[in-house]
Amino acid sequence: MFSHWLAVLLVRSESALERARQHATEDDEVDGPRRSAWYSDRPPPFFAAVVSDTRRTMTARQQHDVECSDVDVLRQTPRLMWETDGLLGLVAYRAQSRWTSLGIPVLPRLARRVCSMAGNIRIDDQAIIEPGAIFPHGQVTITGATHIGPGSSIRQWTRIGPGPTGDAPQLGAVVRVGTTSEISGSVRVGAHAIIGANACVSEDVPAKATVVGDPARVIGMRTPAPLGTPRRAARPRQQRQPDRSAPPVPT
Amino acid sequence: MKVDLHAEQPRRAPQPNLRTAVGGDLRLAGRALADDGATARNLLGRGLRLAVTNRALQGLIAYRLQVHFAERGRPQVSRAFHWLAIWRGQICIGRAVVLEPGVSIPEGRVVLDGRIHVASEVVIGPETTLGLREGSFAAPRIGRGTTIGRRVSILGGVTIGGGARILENSVVLNNVAAYTTVAGRPTTPVISPAAPVISPATPAISPAAPFRSAQQTT
Protein backbone atom coordinates (compact mmCIF):
# COMPACT_ATOMS: atom_id res chain seq x y z
CA MET A 1 0.00 0.00 0.00
CA PHE A 2 2.69 2.41 1.07
CA SER A 3 5.01 1.52 -1.81
CA HIS A 4 2.16 1.93 -4.27
CA TRP A 5 1.40 5.37 -2.88
CA LEU A 6 5.09 6.23 -3.01
CA ALA A 7 5.39 5.08 -6.62
CA VAL A 8 2.42 7.19 -7.65
CA LEU A 9 3.87 10.16 -5.80
CA LEU A 10 7.29 9.81 -7.41
CA VAL A 11 5.91 9.46 -10.94
CA ARG A 12 3.69 12.47 -10.44
CA SER A 13 6.42 14.69 -9.05
CA GLU A 14 8.85 13.55 -11.76
CA SER A 15 6.45 14.53 -14.50
CA ALA A 16 5.60 17.84 -12.84
CA LEU A 17 9.25 18.77 -12.44
CA GLU A 18 9.97 17.70 -16.00
CA ARG A 19 7.18 19.92 -17.27
CA ALA A 20 8.44 22.79 -15.17
CA ARG A 21 11.93 22.44 -16.63
CA GLN A 22 10.62 22.22 -20.18
CA HIS A 23 8.51 25.27 -19.60
CA ALA A 24 11.42 27.27 -18.28
CA THR A 25 13.70 26.37 -21.17
CA GLU A 26 10.96 27.13 -23.69
CA ASP A 27 10.36 30.50 -22.19
CA ASP A 28 14.06 31.28 -22.28
CA GLU A 29 13.86 31.53 -26.04
CA VAL A 30 10.90 33.88 -26.07
CA ASP A 31 11.36 37.62 -25.86
CA GLY A 32 7.95 38.81 -24.86
CA PRO A 33 5.37 37.65 -22.34
CA ARG A 34 2.93 35.06 -23.57
CA ARG A 35 0.54 32.49 -22.30
CA SER A 36 2.34 29.19 -22.56
CA ALA A 37 0.61 25.91 -23.32
CA TRP A 38 1.92 24.62 -20.01
CA TYR A 39 -0.43 26.75 -18.00
CA SER A 40 -3.16 24.56 -16.67
CA ASP A 41 -6.47 25.50 -15.13
CA ARG A 42 -6.11 22.97 -12.35
CA PRO A 43 -3.91 23.24 -9.28
CA PRO A 44 -0.80 21.03 -9.38
CA PRO A 45 -0.84 17.63 -7.61
CA PHE A 46 -0.26 18.00 -3.89
CA PHE A 47 2.86 15.93 -3.21
CA ALA A 48 4.65 16.96 -6.39
CA ALA A 49 4.05 20.57 -5.48
CA VAL A 50 5.20 20.10 -1.89
CA VAL A 51 8.39 18.34 -3.03
CA SER A 52 9.15 21.13 -5.48
CA ASP A 53 8.44 23.81 -2.90
CA THR A 54 10.71 22.12 -0.38
CA ARG A 55 13.48 21.83 -2.95
CA ARG A 56 13.11 25.52 -3.69
CA THR A 57 13.31 26.36 0.02
CA MET A 58 16.38 24.16 0.43
CA THR A 59 18.02 25.89 -2.54
CA ALA A 60 17.36 29.26 -0.96
CA ARG A 61 18.99 28.04 2.26
CA GLN A 62 21.92 26.67 0.23
CA GLN A 63 21.15 23.20 1.60
CA HIS A 64 19.98 21.65 -1.63
CA ASP A 65 21.62 18.54 -2.95
CA VAL A 66 20.59 18.03 -6.59
CA GLU A 67 20.86 14.27 -6.32
CA CYS A 68 18.61 14.17 -3.25
CA SER A 69 15.62 11.91 -3.94
CA ASP A 70 12.03 13.08 -3.56
CA VAL A 71 11.54 10.88 -0.51
CA ASP A 72 14.55 12.49 1.17
CA VAL A 73 13.14 15.89 0.34
CA LEU A 74 9.75 14.95 1.79
CA ARG A 75 11.46 13.85 4.99
CA GLN A 76 12.98 17.32 5.26
CA THR A 77 9.62 19.04 4.72
CA PRO A 78 8.35 19.02 8.35
CA ARG A 79 11.67 20.35 9.62
CA LEU A 80 11.70 23.15 7.08
CA MET A 81 8.05 23.95 7.80
CA TRP A 82 9.11 24.62 11.39
CA GLU A 83 12.39 26.38 10.67
CA THR A 84 11.41 28.67 7.81
CA ASP A 85 8.68 31.27 7.80
CA GLY A 86 7.00 30.60 4.47
CA LEU A 87 6.89 26.86 3.90
CA LEU A 88 4.25 25.97 6.50
CA GLY A 89 1.82 28.47 5.00
CA LEU A 90 2.63 27.30 1.49
CA VAL A 91 2.00 23.64 2.34
CA ALA A 92 -1.25 24.64 4.05
CA TYR A 93 -2.23 26.45 0.86
CA ARG A 94 -1.41 23.33 -1.19
CA ALA A 95 -3.69 21.33 1.10
CA GLN A 96 -6.36 24.00 0.77
CA SER A 97 -6.33 23.95 -3.02
CA ARG A 98 -6.19 20.14 -3.12
CA TRP A 99 -9.14 19.73 -0.77
CA THR A 100 -11.08 22.39 -2.63
CA SER A 101 -10.59 20.61 -5.94
CA LEU A 102 -11.69 17.34 -4.30
CA GLY A 103 -14.86 19.04 -3.11
CA ILE A 104 -14.27 18.42 0.59
CA PRO A 105 -16.37 20.94 2.53
CA VAL A 106 -14.77 22.20 5.76
CA LEU A 107 -11.09 21.28 5.56
CA PRO A 108 -10.07 23.92 2.99
CA ARG A 109 -11.35 26.67 5.27
CA LEU A 110 -9.36 25.23 8.18
CA ALA A 111 -6.25 25.03 5.99
CA ARG A 112 -6.82 28.63 5.01
CA ARG A 113 -6.91 29.64 8.67
CA VAL A 114 -3.64 27.82 9.28
CA CYS A 115 -2.21 29.47 6.19
CA SER A 116 -3.10 32.96 7.36
CA MET A 117 -1.98 32.35 10.95
CA ALA A 118 1.35 30.84 9.93
CA GLY A 119 3.01 33.65 8.09
CA ASN A 120 -0.15 35.50 7.06
CA ILE A 121 -0.34 33.98 3.59
CA ARG A 122 -3.75 34.54 2.05
CA ILE A 123 -4.39 32.88 -1.28
CA ASP A 124 -7.80 32.53 -2.90
CA ASP A 125 -9.11 29.19 -4.09
CA GLN A 126 -9.19 30.31 -7.72
CA ALA A 127 -5.51 31.25 -7.72
CA ILE A 128 -3.05 28.72 -9.12
CA ILE A 129 0.53 28.58 -7.95
CA GLU A 130 2.74 26.20 -9.89
CA PRO A 131 5.20 23.95 -8.01
CA GLY A 132 8.49 25.34 -6.76
CA ALA A 133 7.22 28.59 -5.27
CA ILE A 134 8.83 30.24 -2.27
CA PHE A 135 7.54 32.90 0.10
CA PRO A 136 10.73 33.79 2.02
CA HIS A 137 8.91 35.46 4.92
CA GLY A 138 5.27 34.72 4.21
CA GLN A 139 3.03 37.83 4.42
CA VAL A 140 1.63 37.53 0.90
CA THR A 141 -1.88 38.25 -0.39
CA ILE A 142 -2.91 36.65 -3.67
CA THR A 143 -6.51 37.11 -4.76
CA GLY A 144 -8.70 36.11 -7.69
CA ALA A 145 -7.74 33.77 -10.52
CA THR A 146 -4.11 34.77 -10.44
CA HIS A 147 -1.70 32.35 -12.10
CA ILE A 148 1.86 32.15 -10.82
CA GLY A 149 4.41 30.18 -12.80
CA PRO A 150 6.82 27.56 -11.45
CA GLY A 151 9.84 28.56 -9.40
CA SER A 152 8.56 32.00 -8.44
CA SER A 153 9.75 33.80 -5.35
CA ILE A 154 7.29 36.21 -3.78
CA ARG A 155 8.47 38.39 -0.93
CA GLN A 156 6.58 39.91 1.95
CA TRP A 157 3.78 42.51 1.83
CA THR A 158 3.00 41.92 -1.84
CA ARG A 159 -0.52 42.06 -3.18
CA ILE A 160 -1.22 40.22 -6.37
CA GLY A 161 -4.75 40.23 -7.67
CA PRO A 162 -7.34 41.40 -10.17
CA GLY A 163 -7.96 45.07 -10.75
CA PRO A 164 -11.36 46.76 -11.17
CA THR A 165 -12.03 44.93 -14.47
CA GLY A 166 -11.77 41.58 -12.73
CA ASP A 167 -8.99 40.09 -14.85
CA ALA A 168 -6.19 38.56 -12.80
CA PRO A 169 -2.44 38.76 -13.42
CA GLN A 170 -0.49 35.92 -15.06
CA LEU A 171 3.07 35.51 -13.87
CA GLY A 172 5.54 33.43 -15.87
CA ALA A 173 8.17 31.02 -14.62
CA VAL A 174 10.89 31.98 -12.12
CA VAL A 175 9.57 35.48 -11.54
CA ARG A 176 10.95 37.27 -8.50
CA VAL A 177 8.56 39.67 -6.85
CA GLY A 178 10.19 42.15 -4.46
CA THR A 179 8.89 43.38 -1.14
CA THR A 180 5.81 45.57 -0.81
CA SER A 181 5.07 45.45 -4.54
CA GLU A 182 1.65 45.37 -6.07
CA ILE A 183 0.58 43.58 -9.22
CA SER A 184 -2.99 44.25 -10.25
CA GLY A 185 -5.22 43.87 -13.27
CA SER A 186 -4.82 41.72 -16.36
CA VAL A 187 -1.04 41.88 -16.46
CA ARG A 188 1.33 39.34 -17.93
CA VAL A 189 4.74 39.12 -16.39
CA GLY A 190 7.29 37.28 -18.53
CA ALA A 191 9.54 34.49 -17.31
CA HIS A 192 12.60 35.40 -15.22
CA ALA A 193 11.37 38.94 -14.63
CA ILE A 194 12.36 40.76 -11.45
CA ILE A 195 9.93 43.17 -9.84
CA GLY A 196 11.67 45.59 -7.50
CA ALA A 197 10.68 46.71 -4.04
CA ASN A 198 7.53 48.87 -3.81
CA ALA A 199 6.84 48.56 -7.55
CA CYS A 200 3.25 48.90 -8.78
CA VAL A 201 2.85 46.80 -11.89
CA SER A 202 -0.21 47.55 -14.00
CA GLU A 203 1.19 46.87 -17.48
CA ASP A 204 2.83 43.85 -19.08
CA VAL A 205 6.42 43.11 -18.13
CA PRO A 206 8.66 41.46 -20.77
CA ALA A 207 10.61 38.32 -19.93
CA LYS A 208 13.91 38.79 -18.05
CA ALA A 209 13.17 42.44 -17.38
CA THR A 210 13.80 44.23 -14.10
CA VAL A 211 11.12 46.76 -13.24
CA VAL A 212 10.86 49.31 -10.43
CA GLY A 213 8.72 52.28 -9.45
CA ASP A 214 5.10 53.37 -9.69
CA PRO A 215 4.05 52.84 -12.45
CA ALA A 216 6.68 50.17 -13.01
CA ARG A 217 9.29 50.94 -15.67
CA VAL A 218 11.94 48.65 -17.08
CA ILE A 219 15.43 49.45 -15.83
CA GLY A 220 17.31 46.43 -17.14
CA MET A 221 17.26 43.06 -18.84
CA ARG A 222 19.26 40.11 -17.66
CA THR A 223 20.58 36.83 -18.95
CA PRO A 224 19.91 34.24 -16.27
CA ALA A 225 21.38 30.77 -16.02
CA PRO A 226 18.86 28.12 -17.07
CA LEU A 227 16.72 26.57 -14.37
CA GLY A 228 18.35 23.69 -12.61
CA THR A 229 21.90 25.01 -12.86
CA PRO A 230 23.37 24.82 -9.37
CA ARG A 231 24.63 28.20 -8.22
CA ARG A 232 27.60 26.59 -6.60
CA ALA A 233 28.84 23.08 -6.04
CA ALA A 234 26.72 21.34 -3.43
CA ARG A 235 28.53 21.30 -0.11
CA PRO A 236 29.06 17.90 1.49
CA ARG A 237 26.40 17.24 4.07
CA GLN A 238 27.48 18.11 7.60
CA GLN A 239 28.71 15.20 9.64
CA ARG A 240 26.74 14.38 12.74
CA GLN A 241 28.25 16.01 15.80
CA PRO A 242 29.99 13.59 18.15
CA ASP A 243 27.95 12.64 21.18
CA ARG A 244 28.80 15.08 23.95
CA SER A 245 27.65 12.78 26.72
CA ALA A 246 30.30 10.21 25.74
CA PRO A 247 33.50 10.49 27.78
CA PRO A 248 36.39 12.09 25.89
CA VAL A 249 38.86 9.65 24.43
CA PRO A 250 42.25 10.02 26.13
CA THR A 251 45.01 10.74 23.66
CA MET B 1 24.62 35.49 -7.14
CA LYS B 2 27.58 34.09 -5.28
CA VAL B 3 27.56 34.73 -1.58
CA ASP B 4 30.33 33.28 0.50
CA LEU B 5 28.68 32.14 3.69
CA HIS B 6 32.03 31.31 5.27
CA ALA B 7 33.50 34.79 4.88
CA GLU B 8 34.44 36.67 8.03
CA GLN B 9 31.49 38.70 9.32
CA PRO B 10 31.69 41.70 11.65
CA ARG B 11 30.49 40.92 15.16
CA ARG B 12 27.08 42.26 15.92
CA ALA B 13 26.27 44.21 19.05
CA PRO B 14 25.21 42.12 22.05
CA GLN B 15 21.50 41.48 22.44
CA PRO B 16 19.84 43.41 25.27
CA ASN B 17 18.76 41.31 28.20
CA LEU B 18 15.13 40.29 28.46
CA ARG B 19 14.17 42.38 31.48
CA THR B 20 15.61 45.63 30.17
CA ALA B 21 14.24 45.09 26.69
CA VAL B 22 10.66 44.23 27.66
CA GLY B 23 10.67 46.98 30.31
CA GLY B 24 11.84 49.52 27.74
CA ASP B 25 9.24 48.43 25.20
CA LEU B 26 6.38 48.53 27.70
CA ARG B 27 7.44 51.94 29.03
CA LEU B 28 7.65 53.38 25.53
CA ALA B 29 4.21 51.95 24.74
CA GLY B 30 2.87 53.41 27.99
CA ARG B 31 4.37 56.80 27.23
CA ALA B 32 2.91 56.72 23.73
CA LEU B 33 -0.55 56.24 25.22
CA ALA B 34 -0.31 59.54 27.12
CA ASP B 35 2.88 61.56 27.36
CA ASP B 36 2.07 63.16 30.72
CA GLY B 37 5.34 62.71 32.56
CA ALA B 38 4.25 59.67 34.53
CA THR B 39 6.84 57.81 36.56
CA ALA B 40 8.65 54.84 35.06
CA ARG B 41 6.68 52.46 37.29
CA ASN B 42 3.34 53.89 36.18
CA LEU B 43 4.44 53.69 32.56
CA LEU B 44 5.33 50.03 33.01
CA GLY B 45 1.88 49.28 34.41
CA ARG B 46 0.25 51.17 31.60
CA GLY B 47 2.31 49.24 29.08
CA LEU B 48 1.32 45.95 30.67
CA ARG B 49 -2.35 46.87 30.52
CA LEU B 50 -1.89 47.81 26.87
CA ALA B 51 -0.24 44.44 26.19
CA VAL B 52 -3.43 42.65 27.27
CA THR B 53 -5.25 43.88 24.20
CA ASN B 54 -2.58 45.08 21.77
CA ARG B 55 -1.51 42.21 19.52
CA ALA B 56 1.50 44.09 18.16
CA LEU B 57 2.85 44.57 21.66
CA GLN B 58 2.28 40.89 22.40
CA GLY B 59 4.20 40.06 19.25
CA LEU B 60 7.06 42.30 20.31
CA ILE B 61 7.24 40.66 23.74
CA ALA B 62 7.19 37.24 22.05
CA TYR B 63 10.12 38.42 19.93
CA ARG B 64 12.02 39.45 23.06
CA LEU B 65 11.46 35.98 24.48
CA GLN B 66 12.61 34.51 21.18
CA VAL B 67 15.90 36.41 21.50
CA HIS B 68 16.19 35.44 25.17
CA PHE B 69 15.96 31.72 24.47
CA ALA B 70 18.17 31.92 21.38
CA GLU B 71 20.89 33.55 23.49
CA ARG B 72 20.57 30.84 26.12
CA GLY B 73 21.05 28.11 23.52
CA ARG B 74 17.44 26.90 23.25
CA PRO B 75 16.81 27.15 19.50
CA GLN B 76 13.53 25.23 19.41
CA VAL B 77 11.93 27.25 22.21
CA SER B 78 13.18 30.36 20.46
CA ARG B 79 11.56 29.18 17.24
CA ALA B 80 8.26 28.59 19.05
CA PHE B 81 8.29 32.19 20.26
CA HIS B 82 9.15 33.29 16.73
CA TRP B 83 5.95 31.63 15.51
CA LEU B 84 4.07 33.23 18.40
CA ALA B 85 5.36 36.66 17.34
CA ILE B 86 4.25 35.98 13.77
CA TRP B 87 0.85 34.81 14.92
CA ARG B 88 0.14 37.58 17.41
CA GLY B 89 1.65 40.64 15.81
CA GLN B 90 2.77 39.50 12.34
CA ILE B 91 6.23 40.45 13.54
CA CYS B 92 8.87 38.39 11.79
CA ILE B 93 12.37 39.22 13.01
CA GLY B 94 15.46 37.18 12.22
CA ARG B 95 17.94 36.07 14.83
CA ALA B 96 20.81 38.34 13.72
CA VAL B 97 18.74 41.49 14.32
CA VAL B 98 19.46 43.65 17.37
CA LEU B 99 16.57 45.79 18.64
CA GLU B 100 17.67 47.95 21.55
CA PRO B 101 15.27 48.28 24.50
CA GLY B 102 12.35 50.59 23.84
CA VAL B 103 11.35 50.04 20.24
CA SER B 104 7.80 50.70 19.17
CA ILE B 105 6.02 48.64 16.52
CA PRO B 106 2.54 50.13 16.95
CA GLU B 107 0.62 48.01 14.44
CA GLY B 108 2.90 45.00 14.01
CA ARG B 109 3.30 43.74 10.44
CA VAL B 110 7.06 44.13 10.04
CA VAL B 111 9.74 41.88 8.59
CA LEU B 112 13.32 42.43 9.75
CA ASP B 113 16.12 40.15 8.66
CA GLY B 114 19.90 40.35 8.55
CA ARG B 115 22.38 42.04 10.86
CA ILE B 116 20.17 45.04 11.44
CA HIS B 117 20.77 47.35 14.38
CA VAL B 118 17.78 49.36 15.57
CA ALA B 119 18.39 51.94 18.31
CA SER B 120 15.84 52.74 20.98
CA GLU B 121 12.77 54.97 20.54
CA VAL B 122 12.44 53.97 16.91
CA VAL B 123 8.88 53.69 15.62
CA ILE B 124 8.37 51.17 12.85
CA GLY B 125 5.12 51.40 10.89
CA PRO B 126 3.14 48.49 9.45
CA GLU B 127 4.04 46.54 6.30
CA THR B 128 7.65 47.57 6.61
CA THR B 129 10.66 45.58 5.47
CA LEU B 130 14.17 46.04 6.78
CA GLY B 131 16.52 43.68 5.05
CA LEU B 132 19.35 42.88 2.73
CA ARG B 133 19.94 43.50 -0.95
CA GLU B 134 21.02 40.63 -3.11
CA GLY B 135 24.69 39.76 -3.00
CA SER B 136 25.68 41.45 0.23
CA PHE B 137 25.33 40.92 3.95
CA ALA B 138 25.42 44.64 4.75
CA ALA B 139 22.29 45.47 6.76
CA PRO B 140 20.64 48.77 7.77
CA ARG B 141 21.49 50.64 10.97
CA ILE B 142 18.66 52.76 12.29
CA GLY B 143 19.51 55.70 14.56
CA ARG B 144 17.75 56.71 17.76
CA GLY B 145 14.31 58.28 17.49
CA THR B 146 13.74 57.50 13.80
CA THR B 147 10.16 57.20 12.57
CA ILE B 148 9.53 54.77 9.75
CA GLY B 149 6.19 55.08 7.98
CA ARG B 150 3.99 52.39 6.54
CA ARG B 151 4.99 50.25 3.55
CA VAL B 152 8.62 51.33 3.66
CA SER B 153 11.47 49.11 2.49
CA ILE B 154 14.95 49.78 3.83
CA LEU B 155 17.38 47.54 2.00
CA GLY B 156 21.13 47.02 2.09
CA GLY B 157 23.86 48.56 4.23
CA VAL B 158 22.13 51.86 4.83
CA THR B 159 22.77 54.10 7.84
CA ILE B 160 19.85 56.20 9.00
CA GLY B 161 20.73 59.05 11.34
CA GLY B 162 18.88 59.72 14.56
CA GLY B 163 15.56 61.54 14.45
CA ALA B 164 15.03 60.98 10.73
CA ARG B 165 11.56 60.48 9.30
CA ILE B 166 10.85 58.15 6.44
CA LEU B 167 7.49 58.85 4.85
CA GLU B 168 5.21 56.09 3.68
CA ASN B 169 5.69 54.00 0.54
CA SER B 170 9.37 54.81 0.18
CA VAL B 171 12.36 52.63 -0.62
CA VAL B 172 15.55 53.58 1.21
CA LEU B 173 18.70 52.48 -0.62
CA ASN B 174 21.03 55.35 0.39
CA ASN B 175 22.09 56.82 3.71
CA VAL B 176 19.76 59.26 5.42
CA ALA B 177 21.20 62.13 7.47
CA ALA B 178 19.99 62.79 11.00
CA TYR B 179 16.76 64.81 11.42
CA THR B 180 15.95 64.59 7.70
CA THR B 181 12.55 63.73 6.29
CA VAL B 182 12.80 61.55 3.20
CA ALA B 183 10.33 60.06 0.72
CA GLY B 184 10.28 58.41 -2.71
CA ARG B 185 11.61 55.31 -4.39
CA PRO B 186 14.53 55.54 -3.94
CA THR B 187 14.26 58.23 -1.30
CA THR B 188 15.26 61.86 -1.65
CA PRO B 189 15.17 64.41 1.18
CA VAL B 190 11.87 66.26 1.43
CA ILE B 191 12.86 68.42 4.34
CA SER B 192 16.60 68.78 4.80
CA PRO B 193 18.29 69.28 8.16
CA ALA B 194 18.77 72.98 7.32
CA ALA B 195 15.12 73.57 8.23
CA PRO B 196 14.32 70.74 10.61
CA VAL B 197 10.75 70.06 11.54
CA ILE B 198 11.98 68.04 14.47
CA SER B 199 14.49 70.25 16.14
CA PRO B 200 17.57 68.47 17.46
CA ALA B 201 16.77 70.06 20.81
CA THR B 202 13.60 67.98 21.19
CA PRO B 203 14.58 64.74 22.89
CA ALA B 204 12.60 62.26 20.82
CA ILE B 205 9.59 62.02 18.60
CA SER B 206 6.49 61.09 20.48
CA PRO B 207 4.91 58.09 18.83
CA ALA B 208 1.52 59.05 20.19
CA ALA B 209 -0.42 59.29 16.95
CA PRO B 210 0.25 55.79 15.54
CA PHE B 211 -0.56 54.21 18.89
CA ARG B 212 -3.90 55.94 19.16
CA SER B 213 -4.85 54.92 15.62
CA ALA B 214 -3.84 51.33 16.39
CA GLN B 215 -6.14 51.35 19.37
CA GLN B 216 -9.06 52.59 17.35
CA THR B 217 -8.66 49.94 14.69
CA THR B 218 -8.33 46.97 17.03
ipTM, interface predicted TM-score of the complex: 0.79
Contacts of residue A170, Cβ cutoff 8 Å, sequence gap at least 6? A33, A35, A39, A146, A147, A186, A187, A188, A189
pLDDT bucket at B56, cuts 50 / 70 / 90: very high
Indicate yes or no: CB of B86 within 8 angstroms of CB of A85. yes
- E strand or H helix that includes residue B99: strand B98-99
Q: Which of B5, B127, B155 sits opposite A157 (nearest CB)?
A: B127
* Residue-averaged pLDDT of chain A: 80
Q: Which residues in B lie closer than 8 A to residue A180 (C-beta atoms)?
A: 127, 129, 151-153, 169
| Residue from A198, A223, A241 to probe the interface with B (highest B Cβ count within 10 Å) | A198
- Please report, rounded to a whole number, the percentage of residues in chain A having pLDDT higher than 90: 46
Greater pLDDT, A56 or B2: A56
CA-CA distance, B151 to B7, in Å (whole number)?
32
Sign of the dihedral through C-alpha B121, B49, A138, A199: negative
How many Å separate Cα A50 from the centre of its chain? 9
Residue B52 one-letter amino acid: V
Is A179 within 8 Å of chain B by CB? yes
Indicate yes or no: CB of A212 within 8 angstroms of CB of B185. yes
Closest B-chain CA to A157: B127
Whether B108 shows a pLDDT value over 60: the answer reads: yes
Indicate yes or no: CB of B109 within 8 angstroms of CB of A139. yes
Closest B-chain CA to A233: B2
Mean pLDDT, rounded, for B149-153: 94
Instruction: Give pLDDT tens digits for B67-76.
Output: 999 999 999 9
Contacts of residue B125, Cβ cutoff 8 Å, sequence gap at least 6? B106, B107, B147, B148, B149, B150, B151, B152, B168, B210
The number of beta carbons lying within 10 Å of the beta carbon of residue A108 is 21
| Residue from B5, B6, B93, B111 to probe the interface with A (highest A Cβ count within 10 Å) | B111
Give the per-residue pLDDT at B111: 95
Given a contact cutoff of 8 angstroms between Cβ atoms, the answer to whether B177 and B164 are in contact is yes
Q: Which of A139, A212, A213 sits opposite B111 (nearest CB)?
A: A139
Q: Which residues in A lie closer than 8 A to residue B151 (C-beta atoms)?
A: 157, 180, 198
Whether A183 shows a pLDDT value over 90: the answer reads: yes
- Distances from the Cα of B102 to the Cα of B28, B46, B124, B163, angstroms: 6, 14, 12, 15
Residue of B148, B146, B137, B142 lying closest to B114 (CA atoms): B137
pLDDT bucket at A125, cuts 50 / 70 / 90: confident
pLDDT bucket at B170, cuts 50 / 70 / 90: very high
- Distances from the Cα of B208 to the Cα of A122, B58, B106, B107, B165, angstroms: 31, 18, 10, 12, 15
Lateral strand order in the sheet of A209-212: A153-154, A176-177, A194-195, A209-212, A217-221
Residue count of chain B, please give it: 218
Give the per-residue pLDDT at B60: 95
Given a contact cutoff of 8 angstroms between Cβ atoms, the answer to whether A172 and A194 are in contact is no
Indicate yes or no: CB of B153 within 8 angstroms of CB of A119. no
User: Structure pTM?
Assistant: 0.78
Whether B201 shows a pLDDT value over 50: the answer reads: no
Instruction: Among A27-31, A190-194, B188-192, name the one with the lowest average pLDDT.
Output: A27-31
Indicate yes or no: CB of A139 within 8 angstroms of CB of B185. no
- To the nearest whole Å, the CA of A244 is away from the closest chain B CA by 15
Given a contact cutoff of 8 angstroms between Cβ atoms, the answer to whether A154 and A93 are in contact is no
Instruction: Give pLDDT tens digits for B153-164.
Output: 999 999 999 999
Mean pLDDT, rounded, for B166-182: 92
Q: Could you tell me whether strands A209-212 and A217-221 are parallel, antiparallel, or unpaired per DSSP bridges?
A: antiparallel
CA-CA distance, B35 to B28, in Å (whole number)?
10
Instruction: Among A164-173, B80-89, B152-161, name the one with the lowest average pLDDT.
Output: A164-173
Is B153 within 8 Å of chain A by CB? yes
Lateral strand order in the sheet of B159-160: B98-99, B117-118, B141-142, B159-160
Instruction: Among A169-178, B167-176, B189-198, name the one with the lowest average pLDDT.
Output: B189-198
CA-CA distance, A37 to A23, in Å (whole number)?
9
CA-CA distance, B147 to B162, in Å (whole number)?
9
Indicate yes or no: CB of A139 within 8 angstroms of CB of B87. no
Indicate yes or no: CB of B153 within 8 angstroms of CB of A214. no
Instruction: Among A67-71, B12-16, B36-40, B151-155, name the one with the lowest average pLDDT.
Output: B36-40
